């Protein structure tokens, strides 16, 4: 499982990729999901809710409506 620092680093990396991923909204959701699925698979059960909340905040800040 990942440490809190590793989780924060990975979340920052995902958020930094959002502008590039948004350039092609036809593939955005699949590519974003690929990255987030990998992260969610590496965190413990008690970290899942935090990670999912942070990911939701990223999408909201980016103005992306699924």
> What is the extent of the structural domain holding 12?
4-61
Would the pLDDT of 40 be above 70?
A: yes
Is the pLDDT confidence value at 62 over 70?
yes
Residue 66 lies in a domain: no
Q: What average pLDDT does the structure give for the chain?
A: 94
pLDDT at residue number 66? 58
Overall domain count for the chain: 1
Say if residue 65's pLDDT is above 90: no
Is there a domain that residue 39 lies in? yes
Rounded mean pLDDT of 7-22? 97
The alpha carbon of 56 is separated from its chain's Cα centroid by a whole number of angstroms, namely 8
Per-residue pLDDT averaged across 20-42, rounded? 95
Q: Is residue 51 part of a domain?
A: yes
Average pLDDT (4-9) is 97
């Amino acid at each position: 499982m990942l440490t809190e620092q590793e989780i924060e680093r990975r979340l920052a990396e995902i958020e930094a990729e959002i502008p590039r991923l948004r350039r092609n909204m036809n593939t955005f959701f699949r590519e974003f999901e690929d990255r987030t699925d990998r992260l969610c698979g590496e965190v413990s059960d008690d970290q899942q809710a935090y990670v999912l909340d942070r990911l939701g905040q990223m999408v909201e800040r980016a103005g992306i409506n699924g």
